Amino acid sequence: MLKNKNKKIILMPQELIENKILLIRGRKVMIDADLAAMYQVKTMALNQAVKRNIKRFPEDFMFRLTSAEKEQVITNCDNLKYLKYSPHNPYVFTEPGVAMLSTVLNSEKAVLVNIQIIRTFIKIREMIISNKELRIKLEELENKTDKKFAVVFKAIANLIGNPRRDTASRKIGFKIK
């Protein structure tokens, strides 16, 4: 446990939490085993608490991965290799599901960790929104300026992950006469 300048108790670095958030089915989620490790409880205990209170966890709060999704997660995330040997497909929790976990796990640590996780979800949401706003402002600015700055805007667009379509249609290679 660390204290920062604002006297908040920090149980783990925010980057650690960010690395545990995955995008599955178009939703930002956390795997049950990762959450259990953060709360310092066994995964089985966490899942039992959820099953005892299943009415609090609708499909948009928590869902079980399919076998194909589990394989894809194991393939893409080196830190989740341990899932390969689990006979069960893991549950994943969305942001509201993580918030609901604090109501079924009655420990001080669970409450503190939950607060930290929710703050991380909020930070990620704010970063996504600000990136969209930046892209919109750049597009507006591009439309207002003349063609002299087209190269600059093309480079900026590539940097923020919005490559222009006209570069994709250009042929690569050379012709032999």
pLDDT per residue rounded down to tens, the chain (177 residues):
444 445 555 567 778 888 888 889 988 899 999 999 888 889 999 999 999 999 999 999 999 999 899 888 888 877 777 788 888 899 999 988 988 887 888 777 777 787 888 888 888 778 777 777 777 777 776 666 665 566 666 777 777 765 445 555 556 666 676
Q: Is residue 175 part of a domain?
A: no
- Based on the fold, state whether residues 38 and 50 are members of the same structural domain: yes
Type of residue numbered 121:
F
Q: What pLDDT does residue 147 have?
A: 59
Distances 168 to 83, 99, 149, 165 between C-alpha atoms, Å: 38, 43, 20, 5
Same domain, 109 and 157: no
Q: Using CA atoms, how far apart are residues 34 and 48, in angstroms rounded to an integer?
A: 15
What is the residue range of 140's domain?
Answer: 134-167
**Domain-embedded: residue 58:** yes
Structure token pair of residue 94: 């969305």
| 61 and 73 co-located in one domain | yes
| pLDDT at site 2 | 44
Is residue 177 in some structural domain?
A: no
pLDDT of residue 1: 44
**Taking the complete model, does pTM exceed 0.85, yes or no?**
no
pLDDT at 170: 59
Farthest CA pair distance, the chain: 77
Per-residue confidence (pLDDT) for residue 128, from 0 to 100:
74
pLDDT, position 166: 52
Give the number of other CB atoms < 10 A from CB of residue 113. 22
Region label for 141, one of left (φ > 0), alpha (ψ between -120 and 50) or beta (otherwise) = alpha
173, part of any domain = no
User: What pLDDT sits at residue 146?
Assistant: 60
- Residue 122 shares a structural domain with residue 89: yes
Query: Rounded distance, CA 92 to CA 24, Å?
Result: 9
For residues 107, 49, 16, 22, the Cα torsion angle rounded to the nearest 10 degrees is: -150
| Structural domain count, the chain | 2
Residue 160 sits in the same domain as residue 143: yes
> Rounded to an integer, what distance in angstroms lies between the CA atom of residue 26 and that of residue 48?
26
Is the same domain home to 77 and 145?
A: no
Indicate if 85 and 70 belong to the same structural domain. yes
Residue 176 belongs to a domain:
no
